[in-house]
């Protein structure tokens, strides 16, 4: 401890040592390997803890200048001001402001568009079929509008409601799908930690149960949402009319009736999917081609072929071998289910597509290809087919505990009831 400052003593300090100036309580000069620093050490007037604050480096700050700084801080302490605590608090507040700003910048950069893209890449592209992936990407690209550029964390209930409601009146089905996919995208972002758990998923909460399809309108007449099932008389008339289609179309529509399978499964049929066992020809639909492909417990679907369905498959297998039996012209892939639907609509008497071009017009009207699948299932029920067998023929997974415990494939029963269906359809035509 020195009563007066000694420059030679200051220069001779080793790292970690310090000089206390007795005439100025709390003032000391501390040494490190490279610096000498004036420090004011004191007891806090706020919490009585010992604190210290740096005044400046010697010799840049002379002894008299250090005394001036010490006197100011000592006066502040006597007024109840803890200078070191003030500096610490200011530093913490500054850091908090910077962190908040940084967080805001990150949130602003994480827009709805970025969130949707991550959902597409991380989930949709991994678990959905190509058709589903394409449709969801199209919705995000065309339906988000200005909402696309908003920070995802800033979406309010009002913003979510206005976006979905803008489509609900004119396109309720599309509005419902958009709401569902955005809800799933928000769940994905929250699960991955890209959105805080405190962010509300408004897409799940708005308009629940309030978006309903009004059904089709044909020639100004509302058809509604009723599911079309052709009568037996209409089925007979339609079968007689089918040769007016091109051969691929006629064959696909015939297979709808004779197998009750989905259109996407029919058009993707390949010759390699056909095999014979114990005199029975089977069409084995690989799991990845079915609508159940995403379900772990789903299996390949086996369809026994009879009557016209068997004749069609044998004829087309002779033409195309193990490749797609309904190929596109360049053989790169198979024709699409959408093409079948479009061609059926094109031949409806109320179709206004290319009205000046003459073509055969359907005599059985107001139906779509999928209605033939529903018609075949209805005929099976009318013939007495048990529900479990009928649902298995459709390729539906049995629901609830029945599906969990009953893993029977119903191959024998399928043979019986699809043979009956074939005979019944031929009987209608006869």
- Average pLDDT (233-246) is 97
Per-residue pLDDT averaged across 362-369, rounded? 95
312 pLDDT exceeds 90?
A: yes
Sign of CA dihedral 286, 291, 294, 299: negative
pLDDT, greater one: 4 or 289: 289
Q: What is the pLDDT of residue 405?
A: 43
> Tokens 């850091």 belong to which residue?
95
Superfamily for the 232-429 domain: Intergrase catalytic core (1.10.443.10)
268 has a pLDDT exceeding 70: yes
CB atoms within 10 A of CB 388: 15
Residue bearing tokens 């298995």? 392
β-sheet bridge partners, residue 137: none
**171: three-class secondary structure by DSSP:** coil
pLDDT at position 276 is: 95
Domain 7-82: CATH architecture, name and number where available = 2-Layer Sandwich (3.30)
- Kindly tell me if the per-residue pLDDT of 207 is higher than 90: no
What is the share, in percent, of the chain residues with pLDDT greater than 70?
90
Q: Are 291 and 395 in contact (CB under 8 A)?
A: yes
Report, as an integer, the average pLDDT of 233-259: 97
- For the cut 80, the answer to whether the pLDDT of residue 102 exceeds it is no
Pick the CATH number of 112-205 from 1.10.3470, 2.40.160, 1.10.150, 3.30.230: 1.10.150
pLDDT at 407 exceeding the cut of 60:
no
Please give the average per-residue pLDDT across 257-276, as a whole number: 96
Residues 313, 319, 321, 323, CA torsion sign:
negative
Give the pLDDT confidence of 316-337 residue by residue, as tens digits.
999 999 999 999 988 889 999 9
Residues paired with 27 in a beta bridge:
40
Q: Where are the domains of the chain?
A: 7-82, 112-205, 232-429
């Amino acid at each position: 401890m020195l009563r007066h400052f000694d420059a030679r003593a200051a220069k001779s300090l080793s790292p970690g040592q310090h000089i206390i100036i007795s005439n100025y309580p709390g003032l000391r000069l501390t040494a490190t390997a490279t610096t000498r620093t004036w420090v004011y050490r004191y007891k806090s007037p706020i919490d009585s803890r010992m604190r210290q604050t740096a005044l400046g480096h010697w010799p840049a700050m002379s002894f008299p200048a250090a005394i001036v700084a010490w006197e100011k801080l000592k006066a502040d302490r006597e007024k109840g001001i803890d200078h070191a605590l003030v500096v610490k608090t200011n530093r913490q507040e500054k850091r908090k402001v910077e962190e908040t700003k940084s967080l805001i910048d990150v949130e602003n950069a994480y827009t709805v568009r970025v969130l949707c893209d991550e959902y597409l890449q991380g989930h949709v592209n991994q678990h959905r079929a190509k058709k589903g992936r394409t449709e969801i990407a199209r919705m995000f690209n065309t339906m988000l509008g200005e909402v696309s550029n908003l920070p995802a964390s800033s979406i309010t209930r009002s913003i979510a409601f206005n976006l979905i409601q803008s489509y609900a009146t004119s396109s309720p089905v599309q509005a419902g799908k958009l709401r569902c996919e955005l809800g799933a995208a928000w769940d994905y972002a929250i699960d991955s930690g890209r959105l805080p758990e405190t962010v509300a998923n408004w897409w799940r909460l708005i308009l629940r149960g309030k978006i309903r399809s009004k059904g089709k309108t044909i020639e100004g007449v509302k058809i509604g949402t009723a599911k079309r099932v052709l009568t037996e008389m209409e089925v007979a008339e339609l079968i007689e009319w089918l040769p007016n289609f091109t051969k691929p179309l006629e064959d696909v529509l015939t297979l709808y009736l004779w197998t009750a399978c989905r259109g996407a499964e029919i058009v993707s049929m390949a010759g390699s999917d056909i095999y014979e066992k114990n005199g029975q020809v089977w069409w084995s639909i690989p799991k990845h081609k079915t609508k159940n492909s995403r379900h772990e417990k789903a299996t390949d679907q086996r369809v026994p072929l009879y009557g016209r369905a068997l004749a069609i498959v044998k004829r087309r297998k002779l033409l195309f071998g193990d490749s797609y039996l309904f190929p596109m012209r360049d053989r790169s892939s198979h024709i699409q289910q959408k093409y079948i639907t479009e061609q059926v609509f094109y031949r409806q008497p109320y179709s206004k597509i290319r009205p000046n071009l003459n073509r055969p017009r359907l005599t059985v009207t107001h139906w779509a290809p999928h209605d033939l699948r529903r018609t075949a299932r209805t005929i099976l029920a009318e013939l007495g087919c048990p529900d479990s067998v009928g649902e298995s023929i459709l390729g539906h997974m049995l629901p609830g505990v029945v599906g969990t415990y009953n893993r029977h494939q119903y191959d024998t029963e399928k043979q019986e009831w699809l043979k009956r269906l074939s005979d019944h359809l031929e009987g209608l035509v006869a």
